Amino acid sequence: MLFNDNDKENNMKSKENEYIFFYRQEYDSRFYQISCEIVSPLLVNNCLSKNFLGIELQQCMEQEHLAFNVDQKDFLEHHLKQYLSQYIL
């Protein structure tokens, strides 16, 4: 299976706070679909507090609108591919 830039654009369409890309492992040519979601720091803080401290914080009902910009997507994909090439066996 081959992916070109047109495939990449078609496969990347998702919610603004999500980013999906494909990674091909060098040594065996296996493909992986990588899904990323940007979340608010408040949500991260609440999850860590609940899971590690047993404290559930009150959260504002309004959700912060977050979206990946092009530079963030490129940075994320580049660095995750570098990491995955070293650690996926």
Copy the structure tokens of residue 73.
Answer: 């997507």
H or E, element range at 75: helix 70-87
Q: What is the pLDDT of residues 60-81, one digit of tens each?
A: 656 678 899 999 999 999 999 9
pTM for this model (two decimals): 0.66
Q: What is the pLDDT of residues 4-41, one digit of tens each?
A: 554 555 445 568 999 999 999 888 889 999 999 998 88
How deeply is 20 buried, as exposed, middle or buried, from its count of CB atoms within 10 A (0-12, 13-18, 19+)?
A: middle
- Domain range list for the chain: 5-87
Copy the structure tokens of residue 16.
Answer: 């603004």
Report the chain's C-alpha Rg in angstroms. Answer: 17
